Amino acid sequence: MKLLALCLGLLPALSAQKVTRDIAYAEPRNERQLLDVFSPETGTNHPVVVWVHGGGWMRGSKEQVDHKPAWFTRHGYVFVAMNYRFVPHVKMEDIVRDVTKSVGWVHRNIAKHGGDPKRLLLMGHSAGAQLAALLCTDSRYIEAEGVARSSVIGCVPVDGDTYDVPLQVATATARQKSLKQARPKMGHPEKFGDVAQQRQFSAVNHVAPNRGIAPFLILHVADHTDTSAQAHRLWEALDKAGVRASIFGAENSEHVKLDRNIGLEGDGATKALLEFVKSVLGKA
């Protein structure tokens, strides 16, 4: 009976959102170019959070959102999660364009779902962190979709290791050599291309003063060597350029746990996230 009462007590929170799934953001329609929209039951002009899943640019799904939709809609935000295509079936440029197209769709259509197209926050985990950070620093992508840089008013990359791709490639190569490890068949060079391409896909190389780059909150696992180094590399580039940026290292966590725990009561990263989104997007 106690379990039943507990479940019934959760029903209002679970049902207090409208969900529209599998919306095509590109033509012809295919499962890797669909998105889901989670909206508060009432109201209009809600700020919008666009989520980019992880998976090494080779796997993952918009279904991997855990507590995020319920948490964000409960706090008054529209939450959008998209699929995108994978390497090696497409090039990294195509993946970036997929995510950009989804942002373009959101900008054009989210008002129909109660969202404000001029208050977008981009988030992503792991591979999705690289993609979100890139779109927030290199405005050429979203502007090609008719989205003004000023419409993106916040960015939260979560535990990414490729804000500076050449640096991560050098780090991984040195580690493999030191430990006499075999080079992976599908490592970062195979995914990103040559050094010139790696630089183009690195958020740090598009950070500059007076470019209207939105504020950043960079979340990472405190004792994860690679993602901590990359988080601080991105923070330093943003800070040097005068972009408002903060960084939070999650203690007693790990790469997958940090992502899955966003939206849980008592989670440190979630607390830092709530403070950040309230400061850039508003709401309670």
Could you read off the pLDDT of 187-236 as tens digits, one per residue?
A: 999 999 999 999 999 999 999 999 999 999 999 999 999 999 999 999 99
| Cβ proximity of 176 and 182 under 8 Å | yes
Q: Which two tokens stand for residue 118?
A: 């001029």
Question: What pLDDT does 283 receive?
Answer: 72
Torsion of CA 91, 97, 102, 103, to 10 degrees: 140
Q: Which of the 8 DSSP states describes residue 149?
A: G
26 pLDDT above the threshold of 80: yes
Is 111 among the domain residues? yes
In a domain, 42, yes or no: yes
Per the model's pLDDT, the better-predicted residue between 78 and 281 turns out to be 78
Task: Domain count for the chain, please give it.
Answer: 1
Q: Is residue 5 assigned to a domain?
A: no
At residue 284, the pLDDT reads 57
Q: What rounded mean pLDDT belongs to the chain?
A: 94
What are the strands of the beta sheet with 152-158, ordered from one edge?
A: 17-24, 34-40, 78-82, 46-52, 115-125, 152-158, 216-221, 245-250
281 or 115, which is more confident? Answer: 115
Residue range 82-116, pLDDT digits in tens = 999 999 999 999 999 999 999 999 999 999 999 99
Asked whether residue 3 is domain-assigned, the answer is: no
Q: Please report which confidence band the pLDDT of residue 1 belongs to, taking 50, 70 and 90 as the band edges.
A: very low
CATH of the domain at 127: 3.40.50.1820
Q: What is the pLDDT of residue 282?
A: 83
Give the model's pLDDT for residue 124.
98
Q: State what percent of residues in the chain have pLDDT above 90.
A: 89
State residue 213's pLDDT score.
98
Which domain covers residue 260, as residue numbers?
Answer: 14-281
Residue 32 lies in a domain: yes
* 184 has pLDDT over 80: yes
Name 258's Cβ contacts closer than 8 Å, sequence gap at least 6: 125, 158, 159, 219, 220, 221, 250, 269
In tens, the pLDDT along 118-170 reads: 999 999 999 999 999 999 999 999 999 999 999 999 999 999 999 999 999 99
Residue 10 above 70 pLDDT? no
Residue 199 belongs to a domain: yes
Q: Is the pLDDT of residue 11 over 70?
A: no
pLDDT in tens, 55-87: 999 999 999 999 999 999 999 999 999 999 999
Angle, CA of 39, 19 and 136, to the nearest 5°: 55
The amino acid that residue 99 corresponds to is V
pTM for the predicted model, two decimal places: 0.93
pLDDT score recorded for residue 195? 97
Q: Which region among 10-14, 82-86, 182-186, 207-211 has the lowest average model confidence (pLDDT)?
A: 10-14
Hey, what's the torsion of the CAs at 222, 195, 174, 232, to 10 degrees?
Answer: -20
Cα angle 223-225-227, degrees, rounded to a multiple of 5: 95
Q: Is residue 264 part of a domain?
A: yes
First to last CA, the chain: 34
Q: What is the pLDDT of residue 183?
A: 87
Residue 67 lies in a domain: yes
pLDDT bucket at 3, cuts 50 / 70 / 90: very low
